[in-house]
Structure 1
């Protein structure tokens, strides 16, 4: 059975995107170290999950790129939660049905390697509600946006336990949490 790992970059004030979906601040910290980390974690992946907005961004970028990460992103199975899309043009992409949480649960049971949820804060909120996220990997960017789209939605409480943290030379701190066992 696969584990579901949520992988996101957020700002120090908890935003995954700024005004109008701006994520240009990712470029402030992207470099060889974060690229190596990304390549290493992709080796663990058996599939990727996206919400519609993140899917649109990824599908508009990766098919025209080259290199190790691009080859991986274009080949791996991708699963998309969307009420608006009816057709996916990106290679090996599949729409999740009307019950995306139930389908993710089924995918976890049917997949040997880990599933990764990239970006997709709204979809992550749905999966959190159903206790389907097994690990939260977050790259904390040393930037404060002062507003935008938060990673965690108001009213969603979850107790987590830190299992690892690592600072990169760019100033990013990668933290890894798992749900805390109650009791």
Structure 2
């Protein structure tokens, strides 16, 4: 069975983007050789990426036009199977992408169909739906050393109570900290 893993970079107050879609300037505060290597390790363990429609559009635009220095990460991003969860998208042109209309039921089925990791990158609304359905097996967060002041929160009121077990902490020389948690009972 596949593991469903959330991956997000968040600020100290829990924002995963600024006030506008794709306002991710604070990601530059934690990006460096260590986070690049961590990203590659994650991608090598994955057999599928999962996105909400807004994140999918932004990622597709970025990675299909990636510069040469993006190297191995770009290769993974452009070749790995992808799922975009959207009730409105009709076509998905990024390589190896399927569209699913009912995220919760389809992701549940996809988890049963493989052995690798499925990663949800960004995708705040989708992540909230998957959290409410208790489908995540692990949460991986990179805590950036910044108070943004305002933006879009990753975690909102109304999520189910869920105790977490700390699996790993990994401090970065950039000042960020990668945190890995599993819901109790799924570690």
C-alpha distance after superposition, 1:72-117 (max 9, x if no partner): 10000000111221111111111012x2111001100001211011
- Which residue in 2 is equivalent to 1:178? 182
Mean Cα deviation higher: 72-81 or 59-68: 59-68
Distance in structure 2 (CA, Å) of the matches to 1:24 and 1:151: 16
Distance in structure 1 (CA, Å) of the matches to 2:139 and 2:40: 18
C-alpha distance after superposition, 1:19-46 (max 9, x if no partner): 1121111112211111011011111101
Asked whether 1:12 is paired with 2:12, we answer yes
- Which residue in 2 is equivalent to 1:26? 27
Q: How far 1:68 sits from its partner (Å)? A: 0.3
Distance in structure 1 (CA, Å) of the matches to 2:61 and 2:7: 19
Q: How far 1:125 sits from its partner (Å)? A: 0.5
The aligned runs of 1:1-183 (5 Å cut-off) are 1-21=1-21, 22-65=23-66, 66=68, 67-97=71-101, 99-156=102-159, 157-181=161-185
What are the ranges of 5 or more consecutive residues in structure 2 without an aligned counterpart?
Answer: none
Q: TM-score, normalised by structure 1?
A: 0.95
Distance in structure 1 (CA, Å) of the matches to 2:116 and 2:89: 27
Q: TM-score, normalised by structure 2?
A: 0.93
Report the 3-state secondary structure (helix = DSSP H, G, I; strand = E; otherwise coil) of the residue aligned with 1:102: helix
What are the ranges of 5 or more consecutive residues in structure 1 without an aligned counterpart?
Answer: none
Q: RMSD in angstroms over aligned alpha carbons? A: 1.3
Report the 3-state secondary structure (helix = DSSP H, G, I; strand = E; otherwise coil) of the residue aligned with 1:174: strand
Distance in structure 1 (CA, Å) of the matches to 2:34 and 2:167: 20
Matched length: 181
Distance in structure 1 (CA, Å) of the matches to 2:178 and 2:130: 21
Distance in structure 1 (CA, Å) of the matches to 2:152 and 2:88: 20
Could you list the runs of 4 or more consecutive aligned residues of structure 1 that deviate by over 2 angstroms after TM superposition? none
Distance in structure 2 (CA, Å) of the matches to 1:149 and 1:87: 27
Report the 3-state secondary structure (helix = DSSP H, G, I; strand = E; otherwise coil) of the residue aligned with 1:43: helix
